[in-house]
Structure 1
Amino acid sequence: MTAETAAEIPGPLPFFVYGTLRPGQANHDLYLRGRTAAEEPGRLPDAELYDGPGYPYAVARPGAETRGELVTARPEEYAGLLVALDRLEEYVPGDPRNLYVRVALDVVRADGTAVRAWVYLAAPRVAARLRETGTRIAGGDWPARR
């Protein structure tokens, strides 16, 4: 899993969402309705999903897979959506208190092609705790966990 930071990304990227931002989940309509040009199934290789307090965390792990949606923002909505999603995920670049970090990773579309996308992964201290005591979500699909 090779990630890039925001400073290394030349232009807008789609977002890979795997929890409350997926269609039918609590935050999808609040944050994404009317702001996307496309939404399609995708999977994030080498990431394992853990249950959180009402939302999941993806944690890097070779051989695992997380299922979700690849969301492409409408061009005029991209900047605002990036700010809104960073706020939702309580992500501030460089802040050691972050619950998530936003990184660019390859996400695989249903047709097998890969595309670089923004992904919110568990921040290192959160990921370490989840690996020790967290509850893994079998199959890597948060809405299907119950």
Structure 2
Amino acid sequence: MTPRHLPFFVYGTLLPGERNHPLLAGRTLSWTPAELPGALLFHGSGRPYPYPYAVPDPDGAAAVRGQVAAVADDVYDEVLADLDKLEDYTPGGTGNHYERVRVQVRAADGAATDAWTYFAADRIARELRVSGVRVRDDDWLRRTGP
């Protein structure tokens, strides 16, 4: 894996068993349970896009649980383009739904890894902090409701 080919920290519908996982299935080298410190997880229920959204935690105390997916070099650019499309992200775009951000995640053994993840765009994050539905334990797989 080249330095520019960071793995992806996924926390919602891309996780194994979830509805968008087929986009990554068969295209990854490994999956590692991890958490993203300093982030909160919301469900966008009742909004135009009812998806999971990670947003920075102003207190820095919370951590979103998910997995790090390492993607093979030979399909990396294709996977990156597919994920950007799924997440409605265009580099430098002003109408993005999500923003792809380089973050540092922590594996269960405490090892830190740089990865890409998709945070809610600022305008969506502001709304979620005021009136969003927080996901229990910041863990999509433990969510209740929609």
**Fold equivalence (TM over 0.5):** yes
Superposition RMSD on alpha carbons, in Å? 1.3
2:36 pairs, out of 25, 44, 49, with: 44
- Cα deviation for residue 67 of structure 1 reads 0.3
Q: For residues 50-103 of structure 1, what are the alpha-carbon distances to aligned partners after superposition, in whole Å with 9 as ceiling and x for unaligned? A: 002442000000111100010000111111000000000000112221110001
Partner of 1:4: none
Instruction: Say whether the 8 Å CA contact 2:7–2:116 is kept in structure 1.
Output: yes
The aligned counterpart of 2:93 is 95
Aligned residue number for residue 18 of structure 2: 25
Segments of 5+ residues of structure 1 without an aligned counterpart are: 1-9
Q: Give the gaps of 5 or more residues in structure 2.
A: none
Q: How many residues align?
A: 137
Q: Give the TM-score normalised by structure 2.
A: 0.90
Q: Which amino acid aligns with 1:42?
A: A
1:138 Cα offset (Å):
2.1
**1:74 match:** 72
Aligned partner letter, 2:29:
A
How far did residue 107 of structure 1 move? 0.6
Structure 1 segments of 4+ aligned residues over 2 angstroms from their partners = none
